[in-house]
Amino acid sequence: MKDTKVTAVSLQEMKGRAEKIVSLTAYDYYTSRILNEAGVDMILVGDSLGMVVLGYQNTLPVTMEEMLHHTRAVARGNTRALLVADMPFMSVGVSSEETVRNAGRFVKEAGAEAVKIEGGAEIGPHVESVVRAGIPVLGHIGLTPQDVLVMGGYKVQGRGDKAERKLLDDARALQERGVFALILECLPATLARKITESVLIPTIGIGAGLHCDGQILVLHDILGMYAGHKARFVKAYAQLGEAMKEAVGIYFSEVRKGVYPDGDHSY
């Protein structure tokens, strides 16, 4: 099964078999190849690109052109995973026509197989237009980083009865509009479980506990390659930032001492 191409439909079948979906972000060709070789089910070219690759303060400045450029690179290295491109701030919601046109560019010009759209029931009509145009949509509710200015920071969402009801309604509304799966970001695990049990589509959690149908994290976070804010849910499985600093430091020192290049590395 590991060689079979993953599609939006096969991710839904995984929920039916209670098989966990494994997903990560990627922003370049070589990382995409490595994730495929390691057996990733879904790659998201996230607009987290803005912070971990481009050095912006948040995701708001990320443009369509930047997202298209990095999606193309990831597509070149992708063989098996479902490739999802994140629709950046202001590329969704001005009108359904513009939303569909922007979503279409990811598929036609960059090789994406689905797009991700942040937001709840209020963006339902735009989601439906994109799905009708033949493009699978991954929903994203809970902490939606493109709303950082409105939310006043990155905070756990869905606390209290009213907020809980709103997120359950959002999940069902987006399912009705045709999303093939839902990212649940920064929610109490109990609420994420309720949402997961109340929809037929898979839920993919990030800071939403163990009961989602799958998990996603930002690649730079799990590799220890991002020095910015580290949320409580992030687990670093390596310290590549430190390893990189050490490796380049040894190279600098060998060059300064005249040790590199030695005979084995010269013609």
Which residues, listed in sequence order, are joined to residue 184 by a DSSP beta bridge?
A: 141, 205
d(CA 218, CA 206): 9
Residues in 59-88 at the binding interface with ligand KIV, rule: CB under 6 A: 86
Residue closer to ligand KIV (CB basis): 230 or 245: 230
- Contact stretch for ligand KIV (CB under 6 A) within 45-53, 103-111, 150-158, 248-256: 45-53
113 binds ligand KIV (CB under 6 A): no
- Kindly compute the dihedral angle of the four CA atoms of residues 64, 110, 178, 207, in this order, to the nearest 10 degrees: -70
When binding is defined by CB under 6 A, the residue of 103, 182, 206, 208 that contacts ligand KIV is 206
- If we measure between CA atoms, which residue out of 120, 113, 231 comes closest to residue 173? 120
Told to judge if 164 belongs to the known catalytic residues of this protein, a careful annotator would answer no
- What 8-state DSSP symbol labels residue 85? E
Are 164 and 158 in contact, with CB atoms under 8 Å apart? yes
The terminus-to-terminus CA distance of the chain in angstroms comes to 46
Residue type, 241: G
Residue closer to ligand KIV (CB basis): 47 or 113: 47
- Contact stretch for ligand KIV (CB under 6 A) within 43-51, 70-78, 191-199, 243-251: 43-51
Residue bearing tokens 């800071």: 207
Catalytic one among 185, 197, 242, 246? 185
When binding is defined by CB under 6 A, the residue of 31, 32, 48, 157 that contacts ligand KIV is 48
d(CA 205, CA 23): 10
Residues in 174-203 at the binding interface with ligand KIV, rule: CB under 6 A: 183, 185
User: Could you give the residue numbers annotated as active site?
Assistant: 185
Given the rule CB under 6 A, which residues bind ligand KIV? 25, 44, 46-48, 86, 183, 185, 206, 216, 218
